[in-house]
Chains A and B, each alone.
Chain A
Amino acid sequence: MDDVNPGQADRTTGETVAPDRTGGAREPMVVIEGVNKHFGDLHVLQDINLTVGKGEVVVVLGPSGSGKSTLCRAINRLETIESGTISIDGKALPEEGKALAQLRADVGMVFQSFNLFSHKTIRENVTLGPIKVRKKSKAEASTQADALLERVGVSAQADKYPAQLSGGQQQRVAIARSLAMGPKVMLFDEPTSALDPEMVNEVLDVMVGLAKEGMTMIVVTHEMGFARKAADRVVFMADGQVVEVATPEEFFTAPKSARAKDFLGKILTH
């Protein structure tokens, strides 16, 4: 392909990274190449190629069952892959053991169901990783935790247990827990899907703030507003394939593929 129209050249493979905000080129942070995975007979990930640049915010959209969550979970190997490679900041994802744990420490993950450690207080949730993995002192981790909790707006709850917090608060704590590890990239697996509608925005606000600060983010979501506001690129997946990769503006105003038009037609009409 001629490089006449960069950014459009690889619309369907996602191998071209969006330029950064000053128009400069980005170094690749997450490189996914030729990844395949089956669940039984179902081919959930079909030859996925995607490169996410440093500081880039990529929103993955698609109908349920399209493989977007599986892709997100494969990036820190909560799901194994059958073929292909995933590398983070130039390092290939290790198979097992300590090396994998170390790499995971650099990859923040926010789950749909929050998954805060139920038997630990909010502060303990945020300090566990820094103390056990980053080998910080208790005092240092605690100071950092309080600052992070302040930043996500739940500092008043630091000594409570997760079950005592609302869903929105729990999810913001989960974001703080990931941030405490100083991650190179953050993965969000439908972070607002389990929330009551009035709590969605408080979580999205935190995520938009992160995006503005230049965090590399891969966000699986159904929040089109977030995609428009914060995404550098939208990746549209259907039936285990990356169907379309575009800027949010291109994607929402002029989707190229029939699947994307159909999808947007269903969610944007009302």
Chain B
Amino acid sequence: MLDILDKYDVLGAFWMTIKLTVFSAIGALVIGTILAVMRVAPVAILRRLGAFYVNTVRNTPLTLILVFCSLGLLYILQINLTDPNSSTSIVDNNIRWAIVGLAAYHAAFVCEALRSGVNTVPLGQAEAARSIGLTFSQSLREVILPQAFRGSIAPLGSVLIALTKNTTVASIIGVAEASGLMKEIIENETASFGVFFIFALGFVILTLPVGILFTSLSRRLAVKR
């Protein structure tokens, strides 16, 4: 059993999972915030664009999005995210495109989590912000979004956990993350429960603290009304 840990770089594979998670989480948070702002903007066209993005991306399987990134954008359209002449360009490109795809996909969920947070902010807060002369963007930045973020910490935690596990889909475009290594081990060795157990445990170790952290954060940062 434990010789698997010696023969294969399990920790390295999980390190890739962590890298995918962290970078796409940052991307998803940025894109998702922009989308959420669009969806509550007073400009109808922005609201519609935001809704279109969320409805399209959220309802497309992640597998399709990542395959589209890899086959469509990278191989057919030749959009390289790294120097195409470097010796590791294929691997690096796929990792970066996986991060882009994961971020774009989860941004839709971040947007909806934030929007549910915006709905926890009473209308009076926005009225008070406007009444002291803050512009729309100042009201958002100073009053609405800080409260919306605090109100959406718990759902954002769920999105982050889902994102951690969804990084496994990146193995289909050749990113050497944990689940990819698991398949490799099963192919080379024998399919034992032990292999499943090691990888399942790895994901639990990654996600369980995230859940606990976000629950306590949401309690600690909750806006008292």
A interface vs B, CB < 8 Å?
Answer: 76, 78, 97-98, 101-109, 111, 113, 115-119, 128-129, 132-133, 161, 163-164, 174, 177-178, 181
Task: From B127, B132, B134, B147, give the contact of A119 (CB < 8 A).
Answer: B147
**Contacts known (A161-B224, A163-B224); A117 close to B135, Cβ less than 8 A:** no
In chain B, positions 121-138 with a C-beta closer than 8 Å to chain A are: 122, 124-125, 127-135, 138
Q: Which residues of the other chain, B, contact A119 by a CB distance below 8 angstroms? A: 143, 146-147, 150, 223
B142 at the interface (CB under 8 A from A): yes
Residue contact B133 to A102, C-beta cutoff 8 Å: yes
27 contacts between A and B (CB under 8 A): A78-B130, A78-B131, A97-B135, A101-B130, A104-B133, A105-B133, A106-B133, A107-B131, A108-B131, A109-B128, A111-B128, A113-B122, A113-B124, A115-B122, A115-B125, A115-B128, A117-B125, A118-B147, A118-B225, A119-B143, A128-B134, A129-B132, A132-B138, A133-B133, A177-B128, A178-B131, A181-B132
Q: Which residues of the other chain, B, contact A101 by a CB distance below 8 angstroms? A: 130, 133-135
Residue contact B142 to A132, C-beta cutoff 8 Å: yes
Q: Which residues of the other chain, B, contact A163 by a CB distance below 8 angstroms? A: 224-225
In chain B, positions 147-177 with a C-beta closer than 8 Å to chain A are: 147, 150
Residue contact A118 to B223, C-beta cutoff 8 Å: yes
Q: How far is the CB of B122 from chain A (nearest CB, A)?
A: 8
Residue contact B131 to A104, C-beta cutoff 8 Å: yes
Residue contact A116 to B133, C-beta cutoff 8 Å: no
Q: Which residues of the other chain, A, contact B146 by a CB distance below 8 angstroms? A: 119
Residue contact A109 to B131, C-beta cutoff 8 Å: yes
B interface vs A, CB < 8 Å?
Answer: 122, 124-125, 127-135, 138, 142-143, 146-147, 150, 223-225
A98 CA / B138 CA spacing, docked (Å)? 11
Residue contact A132 to B134, C-beta cutoff 8 Å: yes
Residue contact B127 to A115, C-beta cutoff 8 Å: yes
Q: Which residues of the other chain, A, contact B142 by a CB distance below 8 angstroms? A: 117, 128, 132
Task: From A78, A97, A105, A132, give the contact of B127 (CB < 8 A).
Answer: A78
Q: A111-B124, A117-B129 known; 6 other A-B pairs, CB under 8 Å?
A: A98-B135, A106-B133, A109-B128, A109-B131, A118-B224, A128-B132
Residue contact A133 to B134, C-beta cutoff 8 Å: yes
Which residue on chain A has the smallest CB distance to residue B133? A105
Q: How far is the CB of A113 from chain B (nearest CB, A)?
A: 5
Q: Which residues of the other chain, A, contact B134 by a CB distance below 8 angstroms? A: 101, 128-129, 132-133
A247 CA / B225 CA spacing, docked (Å)? 40
A105 CA / B146 CA spacing, docked (Å)? 22
Q: How far is the CB of B36 from chain A (nearest CB, A)?
A: 17
Which residue on chain B has the smallest CB distance to residue A131? B142
A270 CA / B127 CA spacing, docked (Å)? 36
Q: Which residues of the other chain, A, contact B150 by a CB distance below 8 angstroms? A: 119
Residue contact A115 to B124, C-beta cutoff 8 Å: yes
A86 CA / B129 CA spacing, docked (Å)? 21
Q: How far is the CB of B117 from chain A (nearest CB, A)?
A: 12
Q: Which residues of the other chain, B, contact A132 by a CB distance below 8 angstroms? A: 134, 138, 142
Most buried by B among A113, A115, A178: A115
Q: Which residues of the other chain, B, contact A133 by a CB distance below 8 angstroms? A: 132-134, 138
**Contacts known (A101-B133, A177-B132); A111 close to B125, Cβ less than 8 A:** no
Most buried by A among B122, B127, B150: B127
A109 CA / B129 CA spacing, docked (Å)? 10
A128 CA / B130 CA spacing, docked (Å)? 12
A203 CA / B129 CA spacing, docked (Å)? 21
Task: From A118, A164, A181, give the contact of B133 (CB < 8 A).
Answer: A181
A116 CA / B128 CA spacing, docked (Å)? 7
A30 CA / B223 CA spacing, docked (Å)? 37
- CB-CB nearest 5 A-B residue pairs: A105-B133, A129-B132, A163-B224, A115-B128, A115-B124
A178 CA / B166 CA spacing, docked (Å)? 49
Q: How far is the CB of A116 from chain B (nearest CB, A)?
A: 7
A116 CA / B129 CA spacing, docked (Å)? 9
